[in-house]
């Protein structure tokens, strides 16, 4: 009997905490388009156009589906979880090949990530890390967001 009361108390406490935990995660935005989604409003129209041109060309020639997204913050999630959630919710890449890529930047939090579909091997993870360290992060540090994403 005592165990039942304790278990019921724990269950009630967990249920009361659940809405707060769910509310901490802000819903993710729907993509505005397949290429550039500047929700943080950090890119000029010319930078967006240039990125769009590059991403459209990449989709046509090697068939790489890459989406760029900027957000104001982590939406109550860890960076890795946010990137994976956007990747899945937006349906980036060919579902059969799982070969999409998401370039995610949160300038207010100073965080960025390249999320690759599982169709890319581990070698691609190392290349993505090098691109971030050698190109993206140094450009972002100077406020050159368009250049870093390009």
For the chain, give every domain's residue range: 27-149
What would the pLDDT profile of 32-83 be if each residue is shown by its tens digit? Answer: 999 999 999 999 999 999 999 999 999 998 788 999 999 998 878 999 999 9
Whole-model pTM over 0.85: no
Query: Quick check: 16 pLDDT over 70?
Result: no
Q: Are strands 101-106 and 111-116 parallel, antiparallel or unpaired?
A: antiparallel
Helix (H, G, I), strand (E, B) or coil at 116: strand
Q: What is the mean pLDDT of residues 82-103?
A: 93
The arithmetic mean of pLDDT across residues 120-140, rounded, is: 92
Residue 85 in this model has a pLDDT that exceeds 90: yes
β-bridge pairing 111-116 and 36-38: unpaired
CATH of domain 27-149: 3.10.310.50
Q: How far apart are CA 40 and CA 10, in angstroms?
A: 40
74 compared with 134, residue with greater pLDDT = 134
* Window from 7-21, 45-59, 64-78, 94-108 with minimum mean pLDDT: 7-21
Q: What is the pLDDT of residue 24?
A: 56
Q: Please say if the pLDDT value at position 109 is more than 50.
A: yes
SS3 114: strand
Cα 81 → chain centroid: 8
Going by pLDDT thresholds of 50, 70 and 90, the confidence category of residue 12 is very low
Name the residue among 36, 113, 40, 127 with its Cα closest to residue 82. 113
């Amino acid at each position: 009997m005592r165990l039942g009361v304790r278990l019921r108390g724990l269950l009630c406490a967990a249920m009361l905490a659940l809405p707060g935990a769910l509310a901490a995660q802000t819903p993710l935005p729907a993509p505005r388009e397949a290429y550039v989604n500047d929700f943080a409003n950090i890119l000029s129209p010319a930078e967006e156009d240039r990125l769009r041109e590059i991403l459209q060309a990449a989709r046509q020639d090697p068939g790489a589906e890459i989406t760029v997204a900027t957000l104001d913050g982590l939406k109550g999630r860890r960076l890795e979880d946010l990137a994976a959630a956007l990747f899945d919710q937006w349906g980036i890449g060919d579902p059969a090949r799982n070969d999409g890529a998401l370039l995610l930047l949160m300038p207010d939090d100073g965080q960025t990530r390249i999320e690759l579909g599982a169709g890319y091997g581990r070698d691609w993870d190392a290349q993505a890390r090098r691109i971030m360290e050698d190109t993206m992060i140094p450009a972002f540090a100077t406020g050159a967001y368009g250049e870093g994403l390009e």
